[in-house]
Amino acid sequence: MKVLFVINPIAGRHRSQSIIPIIKEKMKNKDIEYKIITTKAPKDAVSITKYGLKSGFNIITAVGGDGTINEVATGILSVGHGTLGIIQGGTGNDLAKTLNIPKEPHKAIDLILKGKTKVIDIGSVNGRPFLNVASIGVDSQIAQNIENIKKYFRGKTAYTLGFLKTIFSYKHKKLKVKVNNNIIDRKVLLIAIGNSKYYGGGMEICPDSIIDDGNFDICIVNEMPKYKVVTLFPSVFKGEHLKYKKYVEYFRVKSLEIEVLDKAYLNLDGETYPISEKLLFSIYNKKLNVICN
């Protein structure tokens, strides 16, 4: 076993950095080769992972949130071998929740050293991998607005302002969803494509999703009055929104195509991107080996 720890120093408002001494303390006196590398910029974790695997490390541990995990997974997939380890250091940590990785760093390190693994699916949108959930609609707009507001306000204020600004100004998005040769033509509050259950730091948007079943769970929340959004929103934290059958559709597919007819953003494992083309979702032909509990 050779373990590389990839630290995103800004993840979790710098929480990841405080995990470095814990790693050093735990690895002291263990007969295991390890190295710690800190990223210097976004996407660094991809190249660090590739470097690590080519240098003989077989477990690449992401110390950060879902953005960092996504980058390490991207590196592992491109090299074609290697196991993903996770130490929760982000604000989100949705994959860690799915895989039952302990919150405490020292327990997560013990788990890595035990070496129990699971093979999971990887979602792909136009060739770009994601592990948790991809979504389009009010949620990706909230994430985008929070990023903008963070330039002026910090912490919870940014999140609250981002949420309120979006809910009151949001215009439902017109989509064409092609699935199993049927076209679903809809104005939606959001559509979520779940490789696993959670996004946004524990919201159970695709509550029945199974991370190794070779399928996506799709949740479409259709156009609804604004006051209803305020009622429905809290239910997503417990995955109870599926009971609002008048507005919520839920199904399971292997692939789908989405054409977005309005200006919108794509949220992919917590990062947002403007949408400028048709989106083709499929399960990657490669799977990912990941340390689990």
Ligand X SMILES: Nc1ncnc2c1ncn2[C@@H]1O[C@H](COP(=O)(O)OP(=O)(O)OP(=O)(O)O)[C@@H](O)[C@H]1O
List residues binding ligand X (CB under 6 A).
8-12, 39-44, 64-68, 71, 90-92, 270-271
B/e letters for 16-54, b = 16+ CB within 10 Å, e = fewer, are: bbebbebbeebbeeeeeebebbebeeeebbbebbbebbe
Instruction: Please state, as a whole number, how many other Cβ atoms lie within 10 Å of the Cβ of residue 251.
Output: 14
What token pair was written down for 178?
């092609």
Q: Which is nearer to ligand X, 44 or 257 (CB)?
A: 44
Least distance in Å: CB of 12 to ligand X? 4
Least distance in Å: CB of 95 to ligand X? 10
d(CA 291, CA 293): 7
Least distance in Å: CB of 238 to ligand X? 21
Q: State how far Cα 40 lies from the chain centre.
A: 21
Q: Which is nearer to ligand X, 88 or 186 (CB)?
A: 88
Least distance in Å: CB of 198 to ligand X? 13
Q: Is 79 exposed, middle or buried (0-12, 13-18, 19+ CB in 10 A)?
A: middle
Q: Which is nearer to ligand X, 198 or 250 (CB)?
A: 198
Q: Which is nearer to ligand X, 257 or 271 (CB)?
A: 271
Please give the helix or strand (H or E) that residue 88 lies within, else none: strand 83-88
What token pair was written down for 77?
């997939």
Instruction: Please state, as a whole number, how many other Cβ atoms lie within 10 Å of the Cβ of residue 114.
Output: 10
Q: Which is nearer to ligand X, 78 or 222 (CB)?
A: 78
Q: Report the residue number whose CB is nearest to ligand X.
A: 65
Q: Which is nearer to ligand X, 40 or 81 (CB)?
A: 40
d(CA 210, CA 196): 6
Least distance in Å: CB of 133 to ligand X? 13
How far separated are the first and last CA of the chain, in Å rounded?
18
Least distance in Å: CB of 142 to ligand X? 13
Q: Which is nearer to ligand X, 115 or 274 (CB)?
A: 274
Q: State how far Cα 50 lies from the chain centre.
A: 20
Closest Cα to residue 270, out of 24, 35, 94?
A: 94
Least distance in Å: CB of 48 to ligand X? 10
Q: Which is nearer to ligand X, 159 or 250 (CB)?
A: 159
Least distance in Å: CB of 249 to ligand X? 28
